[in-house]
Amino acid sequence: MSHHPALAHHFEDLEQQHESATLGMWAFLITEVMFFGGLFTAYAVYRWRYPEAWLEGSHELDIGLGALNTAILIGSSLTVVLSIHAAQRGESRKIVRWLLATIGLGLAFLVVKAIEYSHKFHVGHVPGPNFASGDFVHTETQLYFGLYFAMTGMHAVHMVIGIGLFAVLLGMAMRRRFTPEHHSWLEMCGLYWHFVDIVWIFLFPLLYLLGRNQ
């Protein structure tokens, strides 16, 4: 009996191969949870230590742009799911369309982030020798901006990697490499993208929203 060309010889069938890929991806995502977990823990410890500085820092962020980026990322998670849905039904052209939408939304997120970053460079709210410490009462506010750039910066790096992955997937989709039986690459990159979305789902309230009632 001839087997599916995508089936590696050490697997029984495509379903077992897919389940192995899913577990491997989740094992990788656990390491990612711990990587960002370290940053979130640092954030929580310093916020506990210097609540006034955190209050001052969070009031400098633009909630409108943060909320816009949250909506953009949630939208891009939807387009990823729709591309997988199209692959399951063998609709090749829809896969290409939804992957293009995902890449577009990912780039839009980075553009908004770049606008926010350039504003902070412009007003001197970037930690370092040129930090506009005169703008703030508490010196630890610089620590807040250090964590802001570390956390959103590492998140943005993950976004750039994700967009690169989807560019590769787009090439595969245009060569009609995804079939209803086998599109594990699409699903695994989707898991990664959703994880990056979840990181932002926590970054948005923690950095932009907490303390706005005061």
Partner 1 sequence: MSENHVVPLSLHLKVFAALIVLTGLTVLVAFADFGRMNDVVAITIAVTKASLVVLYFMHVRWSGKLVWVFAAAGFLWLGILLSITFADVVSRDWIPELPM
Binding-site ranges for partner 1 (CB under 8 A): 15, 18-19, 22-23, 26-27, 29-30, 33-34, 37-38, 40-41, 44-45, 48-49, 63, 67, 70-71, 74-75, 77-78, 80-82, 85, 88-89, 181, 187, 190-191, 194-195, 197-198, 201-202, 204-206, 209-214
In the complex, what is the shortest distance from the CB of residue 82 to partner 1, in angstroms, rounded to a whole number?
7
Q: How far apart are CA 85 and CA 87, in angstroms?
A: 5
**In contact, 176 and 90? CB cutoff 8 Å:** no
> At residue 13, what are phi and psi to the nearest 5 degrees?
-155, 180
**In contact, 11 and 17? CB cutoff 8 Å:** yes
Indicate the SS3 state at residue 193.
Answer: helix
SS (H, E, C) 55-81: HHHHCCCCHHHHHHHHHHHHHHHHHHH
Closer residue to partner 1, CB minimum distance, 63 or 157: 63
Q: How far apart are CA 136 and CA 133, in angstroms?
A: 6
Say which amino acid occupies 57. G
**In contact, 54 and 47? CB cutoff 8 Å:** yes
In the complex, what is the shortest distance from the CB of residue 13 to partner 1, in angstroms, rounded to a whole number?
11
In the complex, what is the shortest distance from the CB of residue 71 to partner 1, in angstroms, rounded to a whole number?
6
In the complex, what is the shortest distance from the CB of residue 132 to partner 1, in angstroms, rounded to a whole number?
25
Closer residue to partner 1, CB minimum distance, 126 or 183: 183
The answer for residues whose C-beta is within 8 angstroms of residue 119's C-beta and 6 or more apart is 62
Which residue matches tokens 């989740």? 26
Closer residue to partner 1, CB minimum distance, 126 or 199: 199
Closer residue to partner 1, CB minimum distance, 2 or 31: 31
In the complex, what is the shortest distance from the CB of residue 205 to partner 1, in angstroms, rounded to a whole number?
4
In the complex, what is the shortest distance from the CB of residue 197 to partner 1, in angstroms, rounded to a whole number?
6
Which residue matches tokens 């949630």? 74
Closer residue to partner 1, CB minimum distance, 71 or 161: 71
Closer residue to partner 1, CB minimum distance, 56 or 187: 187
